[in-house]
Amino acid sequence: MDPSKPAKVVKEAAETVAAKAAELLDPKVPGVPSPVSPSLEEPTGPVPPLPPRGDQGAPDTRTPTGADTHVPATAMAQQGAYLTTSQGARLRDTDHSLKAGVRGPTLLQDHHLREKITHFDHERIPERVVHARGAGAHGVFVGYGSAAGVCKAGFLAEGKETPVFVRFSTVLGSRGSADTVRDTRGFATKFYTDEGTFDLVGNNIPVFFIQDGIKFPDVIHAGKPHPDREIPQAQSAHDTFWDFVSLHTEAQHHTIWNMSDRGIPRSYRMMEGFGVHTFRLVNAEGATSLAKFHWKPTLGVHSLTWEEAQLLAGLDPDFHRRDLYDAIESGAYPEWELGLQVFPDDPEQTFDGIDLLDPTKIVPEELAPVQTVGRLRLDANPTNFFAEVEQVAFHLGHLPPGIDVTDDPLLQARLFSYLDTQITRLGGPNFSQIPVNRPHAPVNDMLRDGFHQDAVHGGAAPYRPNSLDAGNPFPAGADDGAFVDTPVTVTQSTKVRGNPVSFEDHFSQARLFWHSMTPVEKEHIVRAYTFELGKCYEQTIKERQLQSLANIDPVLCQEVATGLGLPAPEPSVPLTDVVPSPALSQLGGTWPQDGRLVGIVVDPDSDLDGLSTVRQAVFTAGMVPLVVAPRGGMLPNGVPVQRTFLTGRSVELDAVLLAGCPAPAPDALPARDAKAGNGSGELLDPRVRLLVEEAFRHAKVIGAWGAGVDALTAAGRAPGEAGVVIGDSGPEVLSTALELLSRHRAWERFPAGVA
């Protein structure tokens, strides 16, 4: 605090800050960047540190060796009102370098200049070689106790609360790529358990492209942009990807998931997660089982349409991270249940004929139901993206007692890869001491020194056995909570580079997936293949992929071949009979609408009486209303406008409510806003017409009352169409719209040509 400032002035400033903070911590407008609203004039004097944002969390304040410091997380942030050097010396000026006269040369003596520029020059670290683009959040996991029969891990005990950090990601794109590309999504969870950190490093797709980790560089090189021109970014719609998957047909199962709606999730909050591999569980008696991990989202599994995904990639490349952060800020905390499919640990390691060590295979839930064992809730956004989301480091080898690995050859290679890459990415071997990576269990290792060593290790003898440190630290026995590698018998065998015969079936489960889809989902799959292969230049690659499609299903093949203008080949393998798995379809059922975005289109010059009521009702229903008006600022009734016709677009909304029929605004000119087209001079602003047209095309719920019904009609829609609701008042329309929204979309509106 500035000692020269009279205490009263400082106190008044603090009160102003607190009042503004209270106003803005109101979660009604998520995304406001600062906890206090800024003054118009440049601030001229220091104020006490601003309060932390209500939606943010931070890594627990642990020492580098895992001890609890009991210091609030906020104490880790920058403190105080005065700018200092990295050594804490207060600075007088950071805008002018030290020069020999105002026009003179800059002096080498200027340490502040050199420190500031040098640090800036080194701000970037290598992005992840895969999964570079991501977003993360803090949360808590609560065990149900239902896993006790199969797993002794303490974090699964009934009522046990364990802090977690989750990072969601896309696989192929660079760190700055768009969120809504067609790709697999990462779903990596760090459980800070009392028995050591457990990382469940999964994806939103339950199978993988390859069966053996030695091929990981190949599949990733094929999926990343072409090495010569470095295009296309963050997508699989290009020749090298389809070249690889059509030659390595074990990738066909994962690929059909990517071409389905699973490849373009509506939200990270609406994705399933899968551990993919089979793990080995150990219970308190030492009995083992095999198991697969599942995350089941409370909100259901929902997707974008391909057109929405493409428009969003331009309109809001941060759509998924914004959705995650805004939902958490507005109190719609995303939740998942952790589930297990459990199988007997028999020597064959198969279940119902399915090889459990083959990561390109699922076990349908109808054969082995998913049993829920706990609940995850994400309730805090990161305080600093780089410190937390960018520096978090997951590893499959981070396992608590009770969970062990299997011989899945993909898993085995992963056990090597992550630590190896993180040494480069995070600049040395001590990254487990970065706050977000610090375990919450005491660390007592004999790993020493290296770059960025944060711990001050005591003791004279970092080796075993020793007598100088009285023999400490000692290996623990199983009764002392040690992780004991499960003594699995390895049958006598010959060293080979090869696969078991069971790994040779590349098509039956892709076929199972196809036949488990509803007609509209099949239609989307056909369109996705046709789009992606249509972007390839080489006809031979398209023909080769069509052969794989024929081996999955002749109808699928024929539909895609027609779109590509190529003949459909005959299957080259016998087509197996499959029993569809309804659990694989995303359709059917109703789901909570928490955190959904509801656009309310208003005409500020008309009656706004009902608007506040509807807006409040949307909040009360746990969703986020976005008021869309011709111009920004506040409406006459004091309601803030969040989107204008210029900045808003239907694709970011889950439902559209028309509360007025705004005439073309002054900027409804193609020269000012290309979305205006040539539609000026109409009853309705052409951007609103476009909004309604797009919302209808994407099968979104559309509601209207009062003058909004005129807008609906002017946009060419009529009550009685699927998912279109009109009524006498906003609340009446909203209640019907909510019911429809619980199905995610008005599915009837999508044409489905494939039965």
- x-or-dash string of contact with ligand HEM, 353-392, rule CB under 6 A: ------x--------------------------------x
Of residues 391 and 593, the one with the C-beta less far from ligand HEM: 391
Buried b (16+ CB within 10 A) or exposed e, 516-533: bbbebbbbbbbbbbbbbb
648 contributes a contact to ligand HEM by CB under 6 A: no
Residue nearest to ligand HEM (CB): 186
Of residues 171 and 665, the one with the C-beta less far from ligand HEM: 171
- Whether 518 and 525 have beta carbons less than 8 Å apart is answered as no
Helix boundaries (H) for 224-305: 239-247, 252-259
The active-site residue out of 112, 138, 203, 698 is 203
Of 39-98, binders to ligand HEM (CB under 6 A) are none
Of residues 216 and 244, the one with the C-beta less far from ligand HEM: 216
- Whether 541 and 239 have beta carbons less than 8 Å apart is answered as yes
Residue 547: count other Cβ atoms within 10 Å of its Cβ.
17
Sequence-distant (6+) residues with CB within 8 A of 438 are 59, 60, 62, 63, 64, 66, 432
166 contributes a contact to ligand HEM by CB under 6 A: no
Of 183-242, binders to ligand HEM (CB under 6 A) are 186, 188, 201-203, 208, 213, 216
Least CB distance to ligand HEM at residue 11 (A): 45
Gap between the Cα atoms of 30 and 32, Å rounded: 6
432 contributes a contact to ligand HEM by CB under 6 A: no
Catalytic residue flag (residue 131): yes
Least CB distance to ligand HEM at residue 437 (A): 10
Least CB distance to ligand HEM at residue 306 (A): 23
Of residues 201 and 552, the one with the C-beta less far from ligand HEM: 201
Gap between the Cα atoms of 658 and 689, Å rounded: 11
- x-or-dash string of contact with ligand HEM, 105-134, rule CB under 6 A: -----------------------xxxx--x
Can the peptide bond before residue 473 be classed as cis, meaning omega within 30 degrees of 0?
yes
Q: Please identify which residue in the block is written with the tokens 């406008």.
A: 641
- Whether 168 and 134 have beta carbons less than 8 Å apart is answered as yes
Q: With the CA atoms of 503, 508, 513 and 518 taken in that order, what torsion angle do they form, in degrees rounded to the nearest 10? A: 180
Gap between the Cα atoms of 49 and 208, Å rounded: 48
410 contributes a contact to ligand HEM by CB under 6 A: yes
Q: Please identify which residue in the block is written with the tokens 């979104």.
A: 700
Least CB distance to ligand HEM at residue 727 (A): 45
Catalytic residue flag (residue 119): no
* Cα separation values, 208 from 34, 251, 368, 504, Å: 41, 7, 20, 15
- x-or-dash string of contact with ligand HEM, 276-295, rule CB under 6 A: x-------------------
417 contributes a contact to ligand HEM by CB under 6 A: yes
Q: How far is CA 478 from the centre of its chain?
A: 37
Burial of 116 (0-12, 13-18, 19+ CB in 10 A): middle
20 contributes a contact to ligand HEM by CB under 6 A: no
One of 144, 155, 325, 394 touching ligand HEM (CB under 6 A): 394
Of residues 201 and 526, the one with the C-beta less far from ligand HEM: 201
Gap between the Cα atoms of 101 and 92, Å rounded: 17
413 contributes a contact to ligand HEM by CB under 6 A: yes
Gap between the Cα atoms of 701 and 657, Å rounded: 8
414 contributes a contact to ligand HEM by CB under 6 A: yes
Of residues 244 and 705, the one with the C-beta less far from ligand HEM: 244
- Whether 673 and 618 have beta carbons less than 8 Å apart is answered as no
The active-site residue out of 70, 96, 111, 131 is 131
437 contributes a contact to ligand HEM by CB under 6 A: no
Burial of 666 (0-12, 13-18, 19+ CB in 10 A): exposed
- x-or-dash string of contact with ligand HEM, 305-344, rule CB under 6 A: ----------------------------------------
Total binding residues for ligand HEM by CB under 6 A? 28
Please list the active-site residues. 131, 203
Binding site for ligand HEM (CB under 6 A): 128-131, 134, 167, 169, 186, 188, 201-203, 208, 213, 216, 276, 359, 392-394, 410, 413-414, 417-418, 421-422, 425
